[in-house]
Structure 1
Amino acid sequence: MNKDRLTVIPPGHPLSGKVSPPGSKSITNRALLLAGLAKGTSRLTGALKSDDTRYMAEALRAMGVAVEEPDATTFVVTSSGRLSAPANPLFLGNAGTATRFLTAAVAMFDGTFVVDGDEHMRKRPIKPLVAALNALGVDAEAPTGCPPVTVKAAGGFRADRVVIDAGLSSQYVSALLMAAACGSRPLDIELAGTAIGARGYIGLTIASMEAFGASVEQPTPSTWRVLPTGYKAADYHIEPDASAATYLWAAEVLTGGRIDIGTATVDFTQPDAKSHDFMAKFPHMPAEIDGSQMQDAIPTLAVLAAFNETPVRFVGIENLRVKECDRIRALSTGLNNIRPGLAVEEGDDLVVNADPALAGQRLPADIDTFADHRIAMSFALAGLKVEGITILDPGCVAKTYPAYWDALGSLGVKFEG
């Protein structure tokens, strides 16, 4: 594979076959951290091995946790239940989950921890989480409002209640939830207002915590109470990644094929699986789709919408502007490179002016992925129907789905470049 560019050749036939998506990134990084916070040895199976999870595993190793990888989908984590201050800053690339989760977790121990990332991560906001940690008596600072974050930890939280603004990301709440179980007292975490990005991921967090022995109560819809149980080592199986599955579901409906991913849609617990309901309506997707609770599926849906019978407006997606890149801008840019006017940004809404006649045309377009795995993977779908779609920096899919191009190839898709 050319590291700089990859042109997708439309297969011209329905895509059929069996592809097993990788394990869930969201669940893998939660389970890795929880296993690192648990005393004893945990075995995580079905796990994702990708850039994001590698950064989490390396950070845990740097803090004294043993993380072994006996095969391609297993982590064996052995920990004393404590994280030790590392000799150097923790470098987490552009892994938002690892960065947010570790920023809170390290506060429960002792010493100075610096949580940092690459140039993209240094543009992603973390100020609300740092403010919450400050309110809990933790000496934490992020001068730019983004990483790097310096945490001078002194054994945990000093209060039993905190209010957090989670409008930008539910990961702030998940980070506090997971850390709080390591405390010495119960902690109430309350939302400031009702807005929360991708609330469904809170459910994933709590389910993972409970698998490692934690106890979380929810006195109100906007308040969670975490008991100071600590964590127990556990064997934990991780379900396939629903966000990765969206590309395969979309490829199936776009080409009229049949792709068996080995897991029934109803068996997914991740929020992005809800996108399957909209894909099932293709080419008659609704005029408006609220993406607030399935944010990582929006790039897939937006590219699919380009081939819909009627235009689609995506709302509730303002948080996409602070993901690995500004995904609203990346989507509108890429779609308009395929055909001018195909997408319009209206405030933080994205309107895709669907045109089923695009299929079968030759419309050469270089797609700038902005080093964002989801932009690369979603625009590859356009190449299944339109000639001349070239993905720039195709290797960025390694962030969450290193075998993506191989998966499409196994279904009969060919590439140049």
Structure 2
Amino acid sequence: MPNALPPAYTIIPPNRPLTGRVSPPGSKSITNRALLLAALAEGTSTLTGALKSKDTVLMARALREMGVTVDEPDATSFRVTSTGRLVAPAGPLFLGNAGTATRFLTAAVATIEGSVVVDGDEDMRLRPIKPLVDALRSLGIAAESPTGCPPVTVRGNGRFGKGRVEIDGSLSSQYVSALLMAAPFGDGPIEVALTGKDIGARGYVDLTLAAMRAFGAAVEARDDGSWSVQPTGYRATDFHIEPDASAATYLWGIEALTGGRIDLGVEAYAFTQPDAAAQAIIASYPNMPAVIDGSQMQDAVPTMAVVAAFNNTPVRFVGIANLRVKETDRIRAVANELNRIFPGLAIEEGDDLLVASDPALASSLAGRNSRIKIETYHDHRIAMSFALAGLLIPNIVILDPACTGKTYPEYWDMLRSLGVELAATE
């Protein structure tokens, strides 16, 4: 993990194409899936290419509190040794604002004999979890969430039920993934079915299914909205984690805005994560599409929106309502901060975000000496995406740069490695 960062960074525009080689960190989404599945498998699993960040550290710590041995042989590996069963922790599991860890463990702890409280920080306590709790209760699992958000209390009896369970996945695909990953501990086959066809970022369910199969689960898609899971449990395995496609979007944004070329060591087509679809859209800059459906690449939307600010023509982002229940309301946050750069640059229209692109934006602000302080709302993606604006506009100040530690602790070092000057700012 990096040393303590200053309260803010002022980004000095490099005024040249940025080139070089950058290895993105491992996928946060896949790392947390693999950590949990390894903890639910009897034996020792070695995870390579893993992300070490705030979210994955919180997941690993929670697993240790439930009797799993999680060693860290190097900076990108975990070695997980487990009996194949979690045990009740001595106290509540605190998971900060890690959505994957919170949702995944809420289902997984139902396999424990005993009572477990899954909790998070003040931001996590505003993020909905009721659909998952309702689904667990329908399986006969005692689960309570008085506010519909964490904390959640789960009183498990070591079993996960059987039969059909319906889940509303429209707010988050993480609810679906959570049920699927716990389902191999059912008393019999479990069918996980969506209550409707809407699901937030379906591609992440595909990541879940691939990881489950790698650890020995027997899971099949019955149709577009349901999956059948056999009660096989999991077996330990060695598993390699691909680079993080959401992190790669910032590198693609750097290429587009500066006219540079960055070698990521992996082509966009090689990613299995849904955010990789953003590469083609970002690469179309400065002629990005007039309408971009962000429903299946939600974490890439802030990056695309900042790039779109400099596009030749306006861009409307649709299908992004779920961004309102992320680490912060990202639709509002992106609109607020784009308008902080230049009033009227962004408009919220319902749950759409309209970016009133201006190809002359950078030149029109070139002579402005006053600082533009970007509020990051404790949200790593707001900080990292708006840093891209500072590559073209002078005096962009990113507040609370340390928040990037949630998924990309080396983000600011990465910018420096490409020749971007960062001035520590009070």
TM-score by length of 1: 0.99
2:303 to 300, 303, 306: 300
Which consecutive residues of structure 2, in runs of 5 or more, have no partner in the other structure?
none
The equivalent of 2:172 in structure 1 is: 169
SS of 1:219's equivalent in the other structure is: strand
Query: Quick one: distance in 1 between partners of 2:345 and 2:212?
Result: 43
SS of 1:97's equivalent in the other structure is: helix
Is 1:385 equivalent to 2:392 in the alignment? yes
1:1-400 equivalence runs, <5 A: 2-360=5-363, 361-362=365-366, 363=368, 364-400=371-407
User: What is the identity, as a one-letter code, of the residue corresponding to 1:44?
Assistant: L
SS of 1:40's equivalent in the other structure is: strand
1:229-269 deviation digits (Å, cap 9, x = unpaired): 11000000000000000000110111000000111111000
SS of 2:232's equivalent in the other structure is: coil
Contact 2:41/2:233 (8 A) holds in 1? yes
The equivalent of 1:401 in structure 2 is: 408
User: What is the identity, as a one-letter code, of the residue corresponding to 2:81?
Assistant: T
Contact 2:47/2:241 (8 A) holds in 1? yes
The number of aligned residues is 417
Aligned-residue offset at 1:109:
2.0
Query: Quick one: distance in 1 between partners of 2:188 and 2:47?
Result: 28
Contact 1:137/1:159 (8 A) holds in 2? no
User: What is the identity, as a one-letter code, of the residue corresponding to 1:265?
Assistant: A
Which consecutive residues of structure 1, in runs of 5 or more, have no partner in the other structure?
none
User: What is the identity, as a one-letter code, of the residue corresponding to 1:372?
Assistant: D
SS of 2:234's equivalent in the other structure is: coil
Query: Quick one: distance in 1 between partners of 2:191 and 2:148?
Result: 24
Query: Quick one: distance in 2 between partners of 1:214 and 1:264?
Result: 29
SS of 2:103's equivalent in the other structure is: helix
Aligned-residue offset at 1:277:
1.1
Contact 1:306/1:342 (8 A) holds in 2? yes
Aligned-residue offset at 1:2:
4.6
1:67-94 deviation digits (Å, cap 9, x = unpaired): 0001000000000001000001000010
User: What is the identity, as a one-letter code, of the residue corresponding to 1:52?
Assistant: D
Query: Quick one: distance in 2 between partners of 1:112 and 1:2?
Result: 38
Moved more, 363-372 or 313-322: 363-372
Aligned-residue offset at 1:26:
0.2
Contact 2:161/2:186 (8 A) holds in 1? no
Aligned-residue offset at 1:159:
3.5
Aligned-residue offset at 1:3:
2.7
Contact 2:19/2:261 (8 A) holds in 1? yes
Stretches of 4+ aligned residues off by more than 6 angstroms = none
1:293-316 deviation digits (Å, cap 9, x = unpaired): 000000000000000000000000
Query: Quick one: distance in 2 between partners of 1:156 and 1:96?
Result: 24
Q: Give the fraction of aligned pairs with identical amino acids, expressed as a percent.
A: 67
Moved more, 215-224 or 172-181: 215-224
Contact 2:184/2:217 (8 A) holds in 1? yes
User: What is the identity, as a one-letter code, of the residue corresponding to 1:245?
Assistant: A
Query: Quick one: distance in 2 between partners of 1:62 and 1:157?
Result: 21
Query: Quick one: distance in 1 between partners of 2:279 and 2:373?
Result: 28
Query: Quick one: distance in 2 between partners of 1:318 and 1:118?
Result: 23
Aligned-residue offset at 1:157:
2.5
Query: Quick one: distance in 2 between partners of 1:321 and 1:179?
Result: 27
Query: Quick one: distance in 2 between partners of 1:350 and 1:258?
Result: 29
User: What is the identity, as a one-letter code, of the residue corresponding to 1:153?
Assistant: G
1:139-194 deviation digits (Å, cap 9, x = unpaired): 00010100000000012223311111000000000000000012221100110111
Contact 1:307/1:357 (8 A) holds in 2? yes
TM-score by length of 2: 0.97
User: What is the identity, as a one-letter code, of the residue corresponding to 1:19?
Assistant: V
Contact 2:302/2:381 (8 A) holds in 1? yes
1:43-81 deviation digits (Å, cap 9, x = unpaired): 000000000000000000000000000100000000000
Query: Quick one: distance in 1 between partners of 2:160 and 2:51?
Result: 31
User: What is the identity, as a one-letter code, of the residue corresponding to 1:37?
Assistant: L
